Structure 1
Amino acid sequence: MVEMTMARLQEGMLILYAVSLVFYFVDFLNKDARSQRAAFWLTVIVFFMQTGFLLQAILVTKQLPVLSLYDGVYFFAWVLISLSLGIQLKYSSSYAGFILNIIAFCFMTIHIFAPTQLESSGVGESLVSELLFIHITFAILSYAAFAMAFVFAILYLLVYNLLKKKKWTSQFSRLPSLQHAMTGMKAAIYTGIPVLLVSLILGIQWAYTALSDWTVLDIKIVGSFMLIIVYSALLFLNRSGKVKATDFAWANVFAFVLIIINFFLGSKLSQFHFWL
């Protein structure tokens, strides 16, 4: 019972960590003060949870838990998040915190779902199953975010075409403005990229833990990383002024086609993704 409760708390901590990364990413791209505050306070909560687990380990072992690779990974993640919060408090810079927290999240995932930890735990099989569940959930949420970007892109092109041809219909007033459609596109992509990245990190950890024969060059994994690169490139080119608004909207439409291809064809060609 105690082990299961601890496992649930660690999973909750990991989810909070992932959500904080989403807010950090939005602030990183858009300099959004509300996202920065949300990311910071979520990180504070994660820090206190990590500190609690660390103190518990110290009380049990009567020493700082750094003598094994498994314990060292956890302590390293705790040090990184401590540095992240310290930098943000002293220099008001969320960029360094964002990068440090990505690294810390990876190490925390490795720690929680490490094979040695699962073998020694009575809830190991349950943890592996739930890791897969979280991975799938985050993947679906990222696809939903990119679908929203696709919808706003279609609406942007529709409104742009109506304005260009000066065709006013009874439904025109119910359509979003060009600015709102563009904001919706960008907000959806800001959300989709980090959520998909978190899903990939968790998925790779699950494969490492649960599968004996797999490769990081699996078509579904490569395709998902390519999607992150494509959407990141679209944001960069748009922000740098190299891609106009209408071209950005069309690019979102074609990028979503890649999402669909990766979802179905990538799953069919994958060695171990049976339906994802």
Structure 2
Amino acid sequence: MADVRWIYDLAIFLYAASVLFYFNDFVQSNRKVNRLAFGLLAVVWALQTVFFVSQMSEKSYFPVLTLFETLFFYSWILVTLSLLVNYFFRIDLLIFFTNVIGFVVLTLSMFLPETPQQTIPQRLTSELLFIHIVLALFSYGALSLSMIFSAMYMLQHKMLKQKRWTPLLQRLPSLERLEVYAYRMNMIGVPVLLLAIILGTIWGQLVLPGKMWNDAKVWTSLLVLVAYSYLLYKRFRTGWLARKLAVGNLIAFAVLLFNFLLTDASRFHRWL
């Protein structure tokens, strides 16, 4: 792993530069700086992909089990989604906010061991487990974008209410578009999260029957699913006001974040 560690370190360095350039564009609306930031972000994605592939070749399992691996993979998902959003929608502020989160997550992984602290029991590793984790992280990525759209909605709503006609306001999509984008991200994230929970439940019952229901993270995962499902229901059936949905979306993401951080205190989810 040491011979490819430089790829990981270089990715973090270039990621920091990309975020700083995006911040400069956020403040001054500089298109040249924006293009440079995007170019660096594309290089970061390539470096992360190479590092991840190298981990796959060196380890005996798909590298998404340890906290280091899940944080790295989550960051890679956010970078990937940023590139896709830039290609299809060109929402620069979303890319900036998304990669602030992605950079923080990747930086946190620096303080964690790259390899498991103990041997992974063979009976615990299976295709179901890996698919469960990958789907859960992809759902977190989609729901992260949804949260950012809702935060941008709240920001623009406040600026309009206060009649602050700044250049920033002109760079934000309309309130209607922001609400629709947040809703669509939830429509992607919630079914993927549901599938991840179903597969995780099946895996848990096969390898550790009965024990999984004693773990708090299992129940908070269900709470996350219920919270987002409730928002989708309210939006589709009762026509909640968009601002109320945006606030609910931010609260639901706070629950999701708590659920993710609970991994370190979870006995069932943290055997490494």
> Scaled by the length of structure 2, what TM-score is found?
0.51
Q: 1:146 aligns with which of 124, 143, 149?
A: 143
Runs (4+) of structure 1 moved beyond 6 Å?
Answer: none
1:257 paired to 2:257? no
1:268 paired to 2:259? no
Q: Is the 8 A contact 2:139 2:190 kept in 1?
A: yes
- In the alignment, the residues of structure 1 paired with residue 143 and residue 191 of structure 2 have an alpha-carbon distance, to the nearest angstrom, of 12
Q: 1:162 aligns with which of 152, 159, 163?
A: 159
1:270 maps to a residue whose letter is S
- In the alignment, the residues of structure 1 paired with residue 270 and residue 253 of structure 2 have an alpha-carbon distance, to the nearest angstrom, of 21
- In the alignment, the residues of structure 1 paired with residue 139 and residue 253 of structure 2 have an alpha-carbon distance, to the nearest angstrom, of 12
Shift in alpha-carbon separation, 1:212–1:233, aligned structure 2, 3 A: closer
Q: Which ranges in structure 1 are unaligned for 5 or more consecutive residues?
A: 1-124
- In the alignment, the residues of structure 2 paired with residue 134 and residue 182 of structure 1 have an alpha-carbon distance, to the nearest angstrom, of 30
Shift in alpha-carbon separation, 1:212–1:239, aligned structure 2, 3 A: closer
Q: 1:211 aligns with which of 195, 204, 208?
A: 208
Q: Is the 8 A contact 2:212 2:268 kept in 1?
A: no
CA root-mean-square deviation: 2.3
Note the alpha carbon deviations across 1:50-92, whole angstroms, 9 max, x for none: xxxxxxxxxxxxxxxxxxxxxxxxxxxxxxxxxxxxxxxxxxx
- In the alignment, the residues of structure 2 paired with residue 198 and residue 241 of structure 1 have an alpha-carbon distance, to the nearest angstrom, of 26
Note the alpha carbon deviations across 1:215-252, whole angstroms, 9 max, x for none: 33521121111111111111222333463211111111
Q: What SS does the aligned partner of 1:176 have? A: coil
The structure whose Rg is larger is 1
1:200 paired to 2:216? no
Shift in alpha-carbon separation, 1:193–1:217, aligned structure 2, 3 A: farther
Q: Is the 8 A contact 1:214 1:271 kept in 2?
A: no
Q: Is the 8 A contact 2:123 2:207 kept in 1?
A: no
Offset of 1:184 from its aligned partner? Answer: 0.9
Shift in alpha-carbon separation, 1:127–1:257, aligned structure 2, 3 A: closer
Percentage of identical aligned residues: 37
> Scaled by the length of structure 1, what TM-score is found?
0.50
Q: What SS does the aligned partner of 1:273 have? A: coil
